[in-house]
Amino acid sequence: MAKDSKVRQENGVVLSFIPTGEYYFNKGINAFHRHDLTGARKYLERAIQLEPYEPMIACQLGLVYMQLEQYQESNDLFNRILEELDPSMTECLYFLANNFAELGLFSEAKNYATSYLDTDPYGEFIEDAEDLLYIVGMEEDGEDDFPIKDELILKQDKARQLLESGNFEKAVEILTNVIEEFPDFWSAYNNLALGYFYLGDMDKAASVLDELLVKNPGNLHGICNLAVFLYHQRRDQELQVLLEGLEKVKPLLIEHKYKLGATFALIGRYKQAYMWLNKLKKYGFEGDSSYYYWLAQSAYYTGHEQTAKNAWKQLLELNPEKEGQEPWNDRNAQGVGFEDDVTSTLKKLRSDYMEERLFGIFILSKSTRKDEMVSHPDFKSLDEFSLTEKVYLANVLDADLKKQFDPNGIISRAHQVADILYEKHHPIDAASSGLFLMWFSVFLEGVKNGQEFTNLRGFAAATEYLWNKLKHEKKFQAEISKTYEISNSTLQKYTKIVLQYCK
């Protein structure tokens, strides 16, 4: 029997397999995500044969035709959707506009783009349609404007590359110039806002998007980005206004469902987040670790515990460091860290490793259950502590011993550096505990080499910078320097020092 036969025999029973349109649709989607356009077309054409009145299949096939530059076939499908299958799928107007622009029929492209903007002011392709009208307008003005159009596209692509590579300051510089030259080129505003956001300047990021939404009130990407920024700034009333617009959006493309779902998850609107992210799973979407993280979070907080656990299992395969941060972990779910975990802290105080014992004392200093820990029968007796630990413990318990045995304040400065790190990373969880362990390890090695630890913020910033590098996470020097209020040169200097003491 052939391998690809649609029947198989098992224990004398013939089991038939009758593929559905949904089956081929999912295979087509997976092929599309692998950039296998020929395979995607084959599967989606089969899907539409089986389910000719399903607008979702027709639209996805139209998009594949678009990518393959089969513009006439693509236009036929989009027109059929609007005229017969589902007139509410207004995004097809934008897709038609895009196709006509590619064909050089700029008047038709302008008409469809304008129709899309008028019909769906909260549509997910508002920004794209605005950009298309901008470019089409240049084309219609004549050949003399081709150099201007080319310059704009080159600048925009360069800025996006800089953002993706982490060169945020240069990207901000280019995008600021783009907006000065082309004040109604809306995508530049969104990218500029992201640049400021990545640099940690939340006020400027929000200000840029405020300006964008005054000039272009229906810009979906701007609304989505601003929602995240306002959430971080705790501007709840303004956030609620934006969310009323976002909740009206009905995305079609998988990447846009992901964007909307992730945005809702980021701001804690788990019901809406789960709706979109779970739909992606049904489509066979193979996401990255961020996708599974937000799916697990939104599923858990909406009562879909099995989905959450399945998503978390897939997340750990991609990112094992997330182990211990499950949303159903009571400590994390309640926003409580190791600071009030008595058992964990007592174990750290009895560790075989000095840095872990010092970390345990630091946790003790931040705990609301300090008295309970000190009086616990498993708490070590003072005789079991080393001299360094005794002095540190004296710092924590506000005793006079620190003046006698730490006259130069070295151990006190170790605690102050940990305090600075704690300002940025609290409550302490399984992930951030590695940062504090790294610092106390650096401190112990530095003491052996006579390091005085005078610039507290310099040591804190350098430790976090190297910690992020160790985890292969993107955090650039400019971002860390700004967070710890030091110069880039200071960060570079102390990074070299800390690097010497990293075991």
* pLDDT value of residue 140: 53
Nearest C-alpha neighbor of 458 from the set 412, 414, 407, 493: 493
pLDDT above 50 for 7: no
Interval 290-330: pLDDT, tens = 888 889 988 888 888 888 999 998 888 877 767 777 887 64
pLDDT above 50 for 42: yes
Per-residue pLDDT band for 503 (boundaries 50, 70, 90) equals: low
Which residues touch 173 (CB under 8 Å, ≥6 apart)? none
The half-sphere exposure of 274 on its side-chain side, counting CA atoms within 13 A, is 17
Nearest C-alpha neighbor of 30 from the set 74, 66, 64, 79: 64
pLDDT above 50 for 278: yes
Q: Which residues pair with 55 in a beta bridge?
A: none
pLDDT above 90 for 463: yes
* pLDDT value of residue 426: 85
Q: What average pLDDT does the segment 239-255 reach?
A: 72
* pLDDT value of residue 75: 92
Which residues touch 417 (CB under 8 Å, ≥6 apart)? 439, 443, 453, 456, 459, 460, 463
The fold of the 162-322 domain, in CATH, is: 1.25.40
pLDDT above 70 for 258: yes
pLDDT above 60 for 144: no
Q: Is 239 left (phi over 0), alpha (psi -120 to 50) or beta?
A: alpha
Percent of the chain with pLDDT over 90: 19
* DSSP reduced 3-state for 104: coil
pLDDT above 50 for 143: no
**Bridging pattern class, strands 13-16 and 7-10:** antiparallel
Q: The pTM is what?
A: 0.40
Average pLDDT value for the chain: 80
Write the CA distances from 135 to 106, 114, 219, 487, integer angstroms: 10, 13, 17, 41
pLDDT above 60 for 283: yes
Q: What average pLDDT does the segment 179-199 reach?
A: 84
* pLDDT value of residue 232: 67
Q: What average pLDDT does the segment 50-62 reach?
A: 91
DSSP secondary structure of 231-279: HHHT-HHHHHHHHHHHTT----SHHHHHHHHHHHHHTT-HHHHHHHHHH
Task: Give dist(CA 127, CA 150) in Å, integer.
Answer: 19
CATH of domain 21-139: 1.25.40.10
Q: What average pLDDT does the segment 224-243 reach?
A: 77
Span(s) in the chain for CATH 1.25.40.10: 21-139, 162-322
Interval 398-451: pLDDT, tens = 655 445 556 678 888 999 999 999 999 888 876 677 789 889 989 998 988 889
> Both ends of the chain: CA-CA distance in Å?
61
